[in-house]
Amino acid sequence: MLKPGSTDFLSNASVLITGGTGSLGVTLTKLLLEKFRVRKIIIFSRDEYKQLQMRHTIADPETRVRYFLGDVRDPDRLRRAFEGVDYIIHAAALKQVPAAEYDPFEFIKTNVVGAENVITAALDLGVKHVVALSTDKAANPINMYGATKLCSDKLFVAANSYSGLKPTRFAVVRYGNVLCSRGSVVPFFQAMRLTGALPVTDKRMTRFWITIAQAACAVLNTLRDMYGGEVFVPKLPSMRIVDLAQAIGPECELREIGIRPGEKLHEVMVPLESARATVEFPDHYVITPDLHRMTRDIYLAKGKLCSEDFQYSSDRNDQWLSPEDLRKSIEEHESSHIRVEGW
C-alpha cells in the first residue's frame, strides 16, 4: 500500500502538471478534483488534440481545470504558465526506448534541457514544491532514454542548492512500468493477442509494475512529504514477462525475439552505489541527497538505513505480481474507475 495522508496541504492551491494530457496526468487531475480542494489545475502540454480529448473526459463543473499549450523546451512559455502556481508535477518527457536510440538529440532537448527550463522558471516564479517523474531506467542506465532521465534526476536534486532563501524545493519520484499506460506492453499484447502469438524479448526478463492510481498516489505523497533533494522509490511488485504474456493471452504462442537495443534483462530502482544514502520505510525507499546532510538526518531519524550491499532490482524482489492480480488491475483500469485508498 502506498502511504495515505491528509489532503489539506493542497487546499486552495494552484497545481500545474507538465505533460498533463498523458495517462498519469489525466489520473492525477481526476484525483485532485475528487479528493482535494485545489483552487486550480493547469494542464501544460504541446498537443492541442489531446487537450481537446481531455476536456471531454474530465468532468469539471467548477471549471478548475485550465489548459495551457506549450512545450518544456520553451523557457518563456514556462515562465508565463508558472505565474501564480504553488506546486508543479513535471511529467513531460519523451519515453520510448527505441526512439531515443534513433533520435537522441530530441530526447536531450525535452528530457534534459526541458528539465533545466522547468527548474529555472520555478525558481524565478517562486513555486513552492516541484516533483519530477523518473523511471527505473534512470538507475545505472544503458540506453539513451535512461541516460536523459538520470541527467534530469540529477538536475532536480542539485536544483535545491540554487534555491537559497527562496521557498522552492525539488524532489524526484522513481517507479517502474505503468500498467496500461499509452505505448506500454499491456495494450500491445492485448492487440497482438488477436494474431495468436505474443513476442517476448527474453523469457527471463522481469519488470517492476505499478498501476496508474498507485503512481498518482506516489506523486502526491512525494509532493506532500518532500524536504528537497530526495528520490522517492515506492516498493512495487515484480512480474516475469512470460507470466504477463500468459496472463493476457493464455492461448497464445510465445515467440522469443531477443532483447532490443538499450533494453535490460532486469530493471533497478535503487542501484548498489546509492545504498549508503538510502533509507527504508514500510512502503517506500528514500534516496537522500549527498549535498544536503540535514535532509538525510531527518530521514534517518524516521526510517532504517539500508545496508551497503543493498540493491532494489526487479529480479531480487520479495513481492511478485500474480496473473490474477494483473487481470484484476487491467479490469479496474478499463472500468475507468480510480480506486484509491487512504486519500
**Concatenated DSSP letters of 232-279:** EEE---EEEHHHHHHHH-TTSEEEE--PPTT--SS-EEE-GGGGGGEE
Distance between CA atoms of residues 204 and 258, nearest Å = 11
Q: Is residue 216 part of a domain?
A: yes
- Whether 178 shows a pLDDT value over 80: the answer reads yes
How much is the average pLDDT of 220-249?
A: 93
- Whether 3 shows a pLDDT value over 80: the answer reads no
Q: What is the pLDDT of residue 81?
A: 98
Q: Is residue 214 part of a domain?
A: yes
Identified catalytic residue from 30, 50, 95, 137: 137
Into how many domains does the chain fold? 1
Amino acid at 276: R
Q: Is residue 123 part of a domain?
A: yes
How much is the average pLDDT of 187-198?
A: 86
252 φ/ψ angles, rounded to the nearest 5 degrees:
-90, 150
Confidence of residue 295 (pLDDT cuts 50, 70, 90): confident
Q: Is residue 49 part of a domain?
A: yes
> By residue range, what is the domain housing residue 51?
12-334
- Whether 1 shows a pLDDT value over 50: the answer reads no
DSSP state of 134: -
DSSP state of 320: B
Residue appearing with cell numbers 498507485: 214
Q: Hey, is 69 helix, strand or coil?
A: strand
- Whether 69 shows a pLDDT value over 90: the answer reads yes
Q: Is residue 185 part of a domain?
A: yes
Look up the pTM and report it: 0.92
Give Cβ neighbours of residue 343 (< 8 Å, ≥ 6 apart).
4, 5, 7, 31, 35, 217, 220
Confidence of residue 331 (pLDDT cuts 50, 70, 90): confident
Q: Is residue 4 part of a domain?
A: no
Q: Is residue 108 part of a domain?
A: yes
Q: What is the CATH number of the domain that holds 277?
A: 3.40.50.720
Q: What is the pLDDT of residue 2?
A: 44
25 φ/ψ angles, rounded to the nearest 5 degrees:
-60, -40
Q: Tell me if residue 35 is catalytic.
A: no
Summary mean pLDDT of the chain: 91
Q: Is residue 341 part of a domain?
A: no
Provide the angle, in degrees to the nearest 10, between the axes of the packed helices 241-248 and 323-334: 60
Separation in Å, CA 226 to CA 74, 220, 317: 27, 10, 26
Confidence of residue 334 (pLDDT cuts 50, 70, 90): low
